[in-house]
Amino acid sequence: MSGPVLAVKAVSKNFDGLAAVRDVDLIIGKGEICGLIGPNGAGKSTLFNLVAGELPPSAGSIKLNGSEIAGLPSHVVARRGISRAFQLVHLFGSMTAVENVMVGAQANVRLSVAAALTHAGHFRDDEYSIRERAVDALDAVGMKDHADAPVEVMPHGQQRLIATARALAAQPAVLLLDEPAAGLSAPEIERLAAAIAAARKRGISVLLVEHNVGLVMRLCEHVIVLNKGEKIADGSPAEVRASDAVAEAYLGR
């Protein structure tokens, strides 16, 4: 084992003096699934946006496989190997399911203008392998049969699975999932859980924000609890569940 895949150190984010995230540490090893929970407004999404490069941190460092990524723009962070699915479903509305996932699958492919205009050289083979990877990712979330359906008319749960498949198809080092089970039916949640477990088997690390506590406790070996921008617990699901600070943050006193 060669050090953590994602190492977040003393990261803070202030919005006009308001500290949304304060001095948070977070370490994820290869193939580890880390749960991130906390009440509404705890700073989970802000932390996600910091890691994904959507926002620059006010202070602290974020390292992916040992190299600093804090402050890099989101498309560069994505190419370095961090792939995310948003809390609100963001799909490419004019495309079919498989086309959406192909955009994820081509994340590591150089977009050559010459090849695009002429379709010369390995174009067909490359295109075929992009499509194959996309279909595999759709298969992983149980949506292979809907590959050629336009996403615009899909039910919300299916759209969310497609968004997860798109993030998976990039074969990232770290997968960020923001409430991937929200709005999913029970069988769809099972498919999602299976897809996340399969991703871990391929060595993908996962950071999972989720309100479905059952899912978090089942999948994660490691759970972090945020409250008011600060980390209040960090440990195994059982330890976190037993923590007084967590009970206080969720239930009040």
Partner 1 sequence: MSDKPTWTRPHVVALLLVALFSFCAGVWLTDPYWASLIVSTAITLVLTMSMNLINGTSGQFTLSHAAFFGLGAYVSAICAQYLGISPWLCLPLAIGAAGTAALAIGVPILRLQGYYLATGTLAFALIVEIVVRQSPFLGGPLGFQDLPKLQVFNVALTGAGYVPVAVIAMLLVYIVIRNLVQSPLGRAIVATRDDPPAAAAAGISVTRTRLTVFVIGTALAAVAGWMDAFYLRNLSPQLFGADLTFKWMLIMLIGGIGKLPGVIVSTILLSLAPELLGIAAMQQVLALGILMILVVLFAPRGIGGLIDDMRSTSRSVA
In angstroms, give the least distance from the CB of 56 to partner 1: 14
Q: How far is the CB of 237 from partner 1 (least distance, A)?
A: 28
Binding residues for partner 1, rule CB under 8 A, total 46
If you compute the radius of gyration of the chain from its CA atoms, what whole number of angstroms results? Answer: 19
Of 66, 75, 121, 250, the one binding partner 1 by CB under 8 A: 75
Our finding on whether 43 is near partner 1 (CB under 8 A) is no
The residue among 61 and 74 lying less far from partner 1, judged by its C-beta, is: 74
Q: Is 58 in the site for partner 1 (CB under 8 A)?
A: no
Q: Does 249 contact partner 1 by CB under 8 A?
A: no
153 contributes a contact to partner 1 by CB under 8 A: no
First to last CA, the chain: 42
Least distance from partner 1 to the Cβ atom of residue 84, Å: 5
Chosen residue from 117, 153, 186, 251 binding partner 1 by CB under 8 A: 117
Chain centre to alpha carbon of residue 226: 17
What letters, b where the CB count within 10 A reaches 16 and e where it falls short, cover 69-82? bbebeeeebbebbb
**Which position among 94, 156, 203, 248 is part of the footprint of partner 1 (CB under 8 A)?**
94
Helical segments of 11-122, H only: 44-52, 74-80, 97-105, 113-118
What one-letter code names the amino acid at 102?
M
Which listed residue (7, 55, 102, 195) binds partner 1 by CB under 8 A?
Answer: 102
CA–CA gap between residue 135 and residue 147 (Å, rounded): 7
Q: How far apart are CA 147 and CA 102, in angstroms?
A: 11
Please enumerate in sequence order all residues whose Cβ is within 8 A of that of 9, keeping only pairs 6 or more positions apart, or say none: 25, 60, 61, 62, 63
Residue 253 binds partner 1 (CB under 8 A): no
Binding site for partner 1 (CB under 8 A): 52, 54, 73-75, 78-79, 83-84, 86, 90-95, 99, 102-104, 106-109, 111-113, 115-119, 123-124, 126-128, 130-132, 135, 147-148, 166-167, 170
